[in-house]
Amino acid sequence: MAIAAVFRTCPDTGLKVHSHAENLIKANAVVAVIFLAVGGFFGLLVALTRWPAVHLLPADAFYLVLTAHGANVLLFWILFFEVAVLYFASAILLNSRLAMPKVAWGSFVLMIIGAVIANVAVLQGESSVMFTSYPPLKAVPHFYLGLILFAVGMLGAVLVFFATLVIAKDEKTYEGSVPLVTFGAITAAIIAVFTLASGAVILIPTWLWSMDLISEVDPIIYKVIWWGFGHSSQQVNVAVQVAIWYAIAAMVLGAKPLSEKVSRAAFLLYIVFLQLASAHHLLVEPGISSNWKVFNTSYAFYLAVLGSMIHGMSIPGAIEAAQRRRGLTQGIFEWLRKAPWDNPAFSGMFLSLILFGFLGGITGVVMGTEQINLIIHNTMYVPGHFHATVVAGTTLAFMAITYLLIPLIFRRELVFKRLAKWQPYLFGIGAAGISLFMMGAGTLGVPRRHWDITFTDAPLTVEMPGTAFLMMGLNGVFAILAAIGGLAYIVVVVGSVFFGKHRDEAVAKANPVIFDGGEAVTQYGSEGTIRIPGTIVLVAIFFTSFVLYYFVNWKYLSEVWPLR
């Protein structure tokens, strides 16, 4: 009994939209936003506890809430949203039906069950093991079970994605090569397979160990395999987020990649090399050779960094080329000044790109260097870095594309348009602030995952400099700003999805969200120009900052460990 394929035609794009694909995108996106709300609230509590003057929660609650924060935002918010993006980039952009809708719904239910079980385990209080759950820390068995069910569900969704690619090709719903955004999603899905397989390989024995069915899990082996999951899933995020940048640039500005071939080659570098960077989590682990550490984090990984830099140049370049095509040719930066800064899809995307590159990218390469890593390993610098990548970068990119999914997929007009206009700035500045101040505190030696840096009652104490306390206080202030930005997003999304004006054909005509040339998102094709002086200036600023920051850190290392 086949499920009848029902299609509607999108008034904005003329694309066929498969009802199952549409409903699954909606369901996954809505659930994602719920987990963001829950997890973001926990994040605020964590930040307020680490604000020395506030020190909100008692110690045991702090570690519980920190575990809940990591799992809900890093795993559940992001991965549910990614499922929505995978379905969008396959069924919708390829003009196809979604394969195996029953499997897709089954996966969705399994992911929810898994996420809820894991949350229950954490909130019961016996599983404050952080989302990394390193043995010998032991959580209750259903904590691991929840994560395993979630991962299996996600694997099902990835399977549906690949099957949809096959169907679209067989049924010839597109010609030639897939569009670049779909190619980015393919990259993400491939990395996801490695990610989820690693997760299953390590979490299943750990689950058995938590039930005393096996006697031990080796802590270092655990770390190696777990980070194949924990880090690679960040690389899924990077691939999806880059695909979203291309998608928004195309839909809002009609920007085509400067060169499809080059951009696809950059994604290929991701597929081959990006996952190796998982090794940066083991840079100070004893018993593993520097060959393994350095090859994985540097020699091979820099090829993946090259991929990111290609995208980082190609996307603003594409935007510049599209704007210049439209006649915004004055000076170096007219194209950027006259960009649609009050369209939250665009502003969110551009802020995400800049913050990810300057704050997340540069610091990531620096801390992935074995020697320099020693200065900041396990300090607040680490969450500082990854709040730049995964919050200012990925989360903000997901928020930005939501402003297009609401009219196109939920077929609602945005409510609170003014709030929506401000939201990316509030959240982006808040996220940039927490990243910077956590990194600042880490540079001064403040440890991560630590309830009390005054070390009251501790037999051995450490004096933190006054500036470290200042940094943690400023982190708290910007955490409040980020939380307000996050709340604004939730209010706009929930308000629009439930109470927004229905977007029928007339409304869609009167109030377009896709602008001229926007169909570029569904096509294979290049801008085919390199007249992008503004982008070249941006890239030059980027490299200068990069080089300076890199050398400052070597200098700093020489002061931390003077050779006399």
Contact positions vs other proteins (CB under 8 A): 162, 165, 175-178, 183, 186-187, 189-191, 193-194, 197-198, 218, 220-221, 224-225, 228, 232, 260-261, 264-265, 268, 271-273, 275-276, 278-279, 282, 287-289, 292, 295-296, 300, 523-526
Closest of 255, 257, 400 to residue 328, by C-alpha: 255
Report the partner that residue 288 touches, choosing among Cu ion, ligand HEM, other proteins, none (CB closer than 5 to 8 A by kind): other proteins
Q: Which one of 73-81, 122-130, 225-233, 551-559 is the stretch in contact with Cu ion (CB under 5 A)?
A: 225-233
Per-position DSSP letters for 251-303, written without gaps between them: HHH-PPPS-HHHHHHHHHHHHHHGGGGGGGGGTT-TTS-HHHHHIIIIITHHH
Asked if 44 touches ligand HEM (CB under 6 A), the answer is yes
Residue 77 vs 161, nearer CB to ligand HEM: 77
Residue 512 vs 525, nearer CB to other proteins: 525
CA distance 138 to 210: 6
Closest of 429, 338, 339, 355 to residue 389, by C-alpha: 355
Report the partner that residue 339 touches, choosing among other proteins, ligand HEM, Cu ion, none (CB closer than 5 to 8 A by kind): none
Q: Which one of 228-236, 347-355, 462-470, 534-542 is the stretch in contact with Cu ion (CB under 5 A)?
A: 228-236
Report the partner that residue 177 touches, choosing among other proteins, ligand HEM, Cu ion, none (CB closer than 5 to 8 A by kind): other proteins
Residue 69 vs 231, nearer CB to Cu ion: 231
Asked if 43 touches ligand HEM (CB under 6 A), the answer is yes
Report the partner that residue 265 touches, choosing among ligand HEM, Cu ion, other proteins, none (CB closer than 5 to 8 A by kind): other proteins
CA distance 488 to 494: 10
CB of 443 to ligand HEM, least distance (A): 15
Binders of ligand HEM among residues 103 to 132 (CB under 6 A) are 130-132
Q: Which long-range contacts (CB under 8 A, 24 or more apart) does 355-358 make?
A: 355/388, 355/392, 355/393, 355/396, 355/428, 355/431, 355/432, 355/435, 356/241, 356/388, 356/389, 356/392, 356/393, 356/394, 356/397, 357/308, 357/312, 357/542, 358/542, 358/545
Judge contact between 21 and 87, C-beta under 8 A.
Answer: yes
Cα distance from N-terminal residue to C-terminal residue, the chain: 78
Q: Tell me whether residue 370 is exposed, middle or buried, using C-beta atoms within 10 angstroms of its C-beta: 0 to 12, 13 to 18, 19 or more.
A: middle
Asked if 464 touches ligand HEM (CB under 6 A), the answer is no
Q: Tell me whether residue 116 is exposed, middle or buried, using C-beta atoms within 10 angstroms of its C-beta: 0 to 12, 13 to 18, 19 or more.
A: middle
CB of 184 to ligand HEM, least distance (A): 19
**Other residues' Cβ atoms within 10 Å of the Cβ of residue 517:** 17
CA distance 378 to 209: 26
Per-position DSSP letters for 345-411, written without gaps between them: HHHHHHHHHHHIIIIIIHHHHHHTSHHHHHHHTTBTHHHHHHHIIIIIIIIHHHHHHHHHHHHHTS-
Asked if 486 touches ligand HEM (CB under 6 A), the answer is yes
* Length of the chain as a residue count: 564
Report the partner that residue 139 touches, choosing among Cu ion, ligand HEM, other proteins, none (CB closer than 5 to 8 A by kind): none
CB of 134 to other proteins, least distance (A): 14
Omega of the bond leading into 136 within 30 degrees of 0 (cis)? yes
Report the partner that residue 391 touches, choosing among other proteins, Cu ion, ligand HEM, none (CB closer than 5 to 8 A by kind): ligand HEM
CB of 258 to ligand HEM, least distance (A): 30
Which residues, in sequence order, are CB contacts of 555 under 8 Å at separation 6+?
none
| C-alpha to C-alpha distances, 124 to 57, 58, 119, 136, 299, nearest whole angstrom | 17, 16, 8, 19, 44
Number of residues lying near ligand HEM (CB under 6 A): 28
CB of 275 to Cu ion, least distance (A): 10
CB of 539 to ligand HEM, least distance (A): 27
CB of 81 to ligand HEM, least distance (A): 10
| Binds Cu ion (CB under 5 A): choice among 231, 264, 411, 448 | 231
Report the partner that residue 224 touches, choosing among Cu ion, ligand HEM, other proteins, none (CB closer than 5 to 8 A by kind): other proteins
| Binds ligand HEM (CB under 6 A): choice among 18, 69, 264, 281 | 69
Computed on alpha carbons and rounded to an integer, the radius of gyration of the chain in Å comes to: 23
E strands present in 427-523 = none
Closest of 457, 446, 321 to residue 384, by C-alpha: 446
Asked if 230 touches ligand HEM (CB under 6 A), the answer is no
Binders of ligand HEM among residues 342 to 381 (CB under 6 A) are none
Convert residues 70-89 into a mask of x (bound to ligand HEM by CB under 6 A) and - (unbound).
x--xx--xx-----------
Helix H or strand E segment including 450: none
Asked if 448 touches ligand HEM (CB under 6 A), the answer is yes
Residues that bind ligand HEM (CB under 6 A): 40, 43-44, 46-47, 50, 66, 69-70, 73-74, 77-78, 130-132, 383, 387, 390-391, 395, 434, 448-449, 479, 482-483, 486
Residues that bind Cu ion (CB under 5 A): 231
